[in-house]
Chains A and B, each alone.
Chain A
């Protein structure tokens, strides 16, 4: 009996120490940041970084946008603490936007506080804004303030399901961009041409901690296909016979990549095999009656798509080797896997420009749907 009482006393003592007591906070007292935008400070304002936070609608009906400029990200949080009545939390942060100017200057000062903070998920998606992140958020809020976070979160999360644009997480950006000799691709957003919403224009390449190039949609597609990042998307095609257009249309395909690396003497040779599998979405026979049910015609479409893409990819490889001089298509690890001790020291001095990269494209289409 005495022992039982002792156990009860211990349990009661433990319950007073329940650790949640220190960490409990009402959700009404939280400013829950869903999207964080990082820019250089607006002209006239001091500091090195401006942080714009899109806050979830918890008590209010609408999401809220607020910007603070300071020398460091931590200092903007401090400024926020003096101004805002609620506690700022990053545990639900879903998207990180980086303004183009800041991206060019370098993002080391925004990666560190976010990777260091245990409440920030490294899986959050990152995008570069072609302009200022703050302005993009205000532009979207003007159109429909209730859906700003929904639109951005979904757009960046599922974009590879619909287009050949990479999805880049904070972790990828932090890890890959610091890998010697490697670049990481980050999608680029801007207000849509029709001013009705936002659009993805392609991607930006980051090496070390700064943006080194901006790619359009076609270049981005080549990069995605060459780097083997999983994506799906629509690709248009045109078939010519004797210099005359004889069919055109669209295919919807998913990509795969295989890389083989070998040596020809001192020269390192990469053979990249890109395979696209998918279906014919549409075609219009211009000068010919429909012969689609014939296997031969489908093979012609496959070849046309493959040839087009191969040419674009070869152009991109040339651009990458001659102008970027950095591996943007993630093939260096294959060479490291074979000759790590020999190649690792070369990566800082330049490696990718001295290798031979061959690419081959295979397209496999199925004729699905109700039409022949």
Chain B
């Protein structure tokens, strides 16, 4: 195996974590959170960040205990060949389902705003093929792509902030006190889907060149994600208010349609044209993680089988993405993905850590 194809820098890890988390979910995020947490939705973003942060700490604590921190290797060491492989396959299955939801949401948004007459299967297929091609090139290419696309994300974010400042009012965020704790907690749970993605660290940990920098990089990545979500939710609240947000399926896109733009005409189309490239990042990152984990689980030759496995994972994502009948089903699935994320990102490292401590497998 050409190891260098699967080596990334800690800087690229930051962008991979941000890229896996910040994509389609951000477009509906203010509505989803405000439905539960009201004008304290921004607070729910911060509280909700506890889940991915805990996941990062647990994953790093777990994998730091192993000299060879490869996810497949750790699974086999702790659980034996059969159970370890089964756990890896569950992870691969989870990643595939998450990707199918993301790709379907991506497709729906593309069809609603840009290509209304194009069938869902066509948009989904073109997207999947692009992802398969990029993923087949290995983690290094994915890392570089994430870094490049992150800078495009900044342009999109600046557009959102600009629209928020010109169209919104801070009054919609007040008063800061009188917090409805129940609503806040519900909102924090709802946002968990948007934080799905940090579990790629289970696989990418072993790819990072300098192990000492992993925790710092992962925390920076999480911090950037929280900051982006916080900004988006604050802007959404400022422009629409927490009740107004409920009228729009993708309030972030709608808010770009509100300012009059004489030069660009339709601000939301400029945003979406950039976003089309950003929306595929989680699919790329999770697809790469799933394919890598699968290849390692069966100890297959990367040069011979990796590209085919990527294609297989891609086919799985594509078929699953066509299963929901409508957008409401996709949103319902997204809720389940949020719960699955908690189970995988917190459950896996907790289970592994527990077994590791019990078996005293500290291979230093």
Residues of chain A at the chain B interface (Cβ within 8 Å): 7, 10, 13-14, 17-23, 115, 118-119, 121-123, 157, 169, 171, 174-175, 179, 333-334, 336-341
13 contacts across the A-B interface (CB closer than 8 A): A17-B122, A21-B118, A22-B118, A23-B118, A122-B258, A123-B258, A123-B259, A123-B261, A169-B258, A171-B258, A337-B171, A340-B178, A341-B178
Q: Which residues of chain B are within 8 angstroms of A333 by Cβ–Cβ distance?
A: 169, 171-172
Q: Which residues of chain B are within 8 angstroms of A118 by Cβ–Cβ distance?
A: 112-113, 116
State in angstroms the CA–CA spacing of A13 and B133 once bound together.
Answer: 13
B312 at the interface (CB under 8 A from A): no
20 further interface pairs, Cβ-Cβ under 8 Å (given A13-B129, A334-B171, A336-B171): A14-B126, A14-B129, A14-B130, A17-B125, A19-B118, A21-B118, A22-B115, A22-B117, A22-B118, A23-B115, A23-B116, A118-B112, A123-B258, A123-B261, A171-B257, A175-B240, A179-B243, A333-B169, A338-B174, A341-B178
State in angstroms the CA–CA spacing of A341 and B133 once bound together.
Answer: 53
Distance (whole angstroms) from the CB of B314 to the closest CB of chain A: 11
Q: Which residues of chain A are within 8 angstroms of B178 by Cβ–Cβ distance?
A: 340-341
Residues of chain B at the chain A interface (Cβ within 8 Å): 39, 110, 112-113, 115-119, 122-123, 125-126, 129-130, 133, 169, 171-172, 174-175, 178, 240-241, 243-244, 247, 254, 257-261, 266
Q: Which residues of chain A are within 8 angstroms of B113 by Cβ–Cβ distance?
A: 118
Q: Is the interface of A mostly helix, strand, loop or mixed?
A: helix
Q: Which residues of chain A are within 8 angstroms of B175 by Cβ–Cβ distance?
A: 337-340
Q: Which of B116, B240, B257 contacts A123 (CB 8 A)?
A: B257
State in angstroms the CA–CA spacing of A318 and B184 once bound together.
Answer: 41
State in angstroms the CA–CA spacing of A171 and B171 once bound together.
Answer: 19
Q: Which residues of chain A are within 8 angstroms of B119 by Cβ–Cβ distance?
A: 22
Q: Is the interface of B mostly helix, strand, loop or mixed?
A: helix
Q: State whether A157 touches B112 (Cβ < 8 A).
A: no
Q: Which residue of A lies closest to B174 (CB)?
A: A337
Q: Which residues of chain A are within 8 angstroms of B169 by Cβ–Cβ distance?
A: 333
Q: Which residues of chain B are within 8 angstroms of A174 by Cβ–Cβ distance?
A: 247
State in angstroms the CA–CA spacing of A111 and B178 once bound together.
Answer: 34
Q: Which residues of chain B are within 8 angstroms of A17 by Cβ–Cβ distance?
A: 122, 125-126
Distance (whole angstroms) from the CB of B164 to the closest CB of chain A: 14
Q: Which residues of chain B are within 8 angstroms of A115 by Cβ–Cβ distance?
A: 247
Q: Which residues of chain A are within 8 angstroms of B118 by Cβ–Cβ distance?
A: 19-23
Distance (whole angstroms) from the CB of B99 to the closest CB of chain A: 19
Q: State whether B260 touches A169 (Cβ < 8 A).
A: yes
State in angstroms the CA–CA spacing of A361 and B143 once bound together.
Answer: 59
Distance (whole angstroms) from the CB of A284 to the closest CB of chain B: 39
Distance (whole angstroms) from the CB of B106 to the closest CB of chain A: 13
State in angstroms the CA–CA spacing of A276 and B130 once bound together.
Answer: 57
Distance (whole angstroms) from the CB of B253 to the closest CB of chain A: 8
Q: Which residues of chain B are within 8 angstroms of A122 by Cβ–Cβ distance?
A: 254, 257-258
State in angstroms the CA–CA spacing of A337 and B241 once bound together.
Answer: 11
State in angstroms the CA–CA spacing of A20 and B174 once bound together.
Answer: 45
Q: Which of B115, B254, B258 contacts A20 (CB 8 A)?
A: B115
State in angstroms the CA–CA spacing of A23 and B171 once bound together.
Answer: 42
State in angstroms the CA–CA spacing of A21 and B171 once bound together.
Answer: 46
Q: Which residues of chain A are within 8 angstroms of B257 by Cβ–Cβ distance?
A: 121-123, 171
Q: Which residue of A lies closest to B307 (CB)?
A: A3
State in angstroms the CA–CA spacing of A13 and B128 once bound together.
Answer: 13
Among A14, A20, A22, A174, residue most surrounded by chain B Cβ atoms (within 10 Å): A22
Distance (whole angstroms) from the CB of B141 to the closest CB of chain A: 14
Q: Which of A19, A123, A340 contacts B115 (CB 8 A)?
A: A19
State in angstroms the CA–CA spacing of A13 and B126 once bound together.
Answer: 9
Q: Which A-B residue pairs are the 10 nearest by beta carbons?
A: A337-B174, A22-B118, A19-B118, A333-B171, A337-B171, A22-B117, A123-B260, A23-B117, A19-B115, A171-B258
Q: Which residue of A lies closest to B130 (CB)?
A: A14
Distance (whole angstroms) from the CB of A228 to the closest CB of chain B: 10
Distance (whole angstroms) from the CB of B41 to the closest CB of chain A: 14
Q: Which residues of chain B are within 8 angstroms of A18 by Cβ–Cβ distance?
A: 126
State in angstroms the CA–CA spacing of A7 and B133 once bound together.
Answer: 8
Distance (whole angstroms) from the CB of A240 to the closest CB of chain B: 40
State in angstroms the CA–CA spacing of A18 and B115 once bound together.
Answer: 11
State in angstroms the CA–CA spacing of A20 and B115 once bound together.
Answer: 7
Q: State whether A10 touches B129 (Cβ < 8 A).
A: yes
State in angstroms the CA–CA spacing of A47 and B126 once bound together.
Answer: 45
State in angstroms the CA–CA spacing of A339 and B175 once bound together.
Answer: 7
State in angstroms the CA–CA spacing of A339 and B174 once bound together.
Answer: 9
State in angstroms the CA–CA spacing of A338 and B178 once bound together.
Answer: 10
Q: Which residue of A lies closest to B121 (CB)?
A: A17
Q: Which residue of B lies closest to A180 (CB)?
A: B243
Q: Which residues of chain B are within 8 angstroms of A341 by Cβ–Cβ distance?
A: 178
Q: State whether A121 touches B266 (Cβ < 8 A).
A: yes
Q: Which residues of chain B are within 8 angstroms of A13 by Cβ–Cβ distance?
A: 129
Q: Which residues of chain A are within 8 angstroms of B261 by Cβ–Cβ distance?
A: 123
Q: Which residue of B lies closest to A340 (CB)?
A: B175
Among A7, A10, A17, residue most surrounded by chain B Cβ atoms (within 10 Å): A17
Indicate whether A19 sits within 8 Å of B266 (C-beta atoms), given known contacts A169-B260, A171-B258: no
Q: Which residue of B lies closest to A341 (CB)?
A: B178
Q: State whether A19 touches B240 (Cβ < 8 A).
A: no
State in angstroms the CA–CA spacing of A171 and B113 once bound together.
Answer: 17
Q: Which residues of chain B are within 8 angstroms of A339 by Cβ–Cβ distance?
A: 175
Q: Which residues of chain B are within 8 angstroms of A171 by Cβ–Cβ distance?
A: 257-258
Q: State whether A340 touches B174 (Cβ < 8 A).
A: yes
Among A13, A17, A20, A118, residue most surrounded by chain B Cβ atoms (within 10 Å): A118
Q: Which residues of chain B are within 8 angstroms of A10 by Cβ–Cβ distance?
A: 129, 133
Q: Which residues of chain B are within 8 angstroms of A22 by Cβ–Cβ distance?
A: 115, 117-119, 122
Q: Which residue of A lies closest to B109 (CB)?
A: A118
Q: Which residues of chain A are within 8 angstroms of B174 by Cβ–Cβ distance?
A: 336-338, 340
Distance (whole angstroms) from the CB of B304 to the closest CB of chain A: 12
Distance (whole angstroms) from the CB of B250 to the closest CB of chain A: 10
Q: Which residue of B lies closest to A339 (CB)?
A: B175
State in angstroms the CA–CA spacing of A263 and B20 once bound together.
Answer: 49
Q: Which residues of chain B are within 8 angstroms of A157 by Cβ–Cβ distance?
A: 260
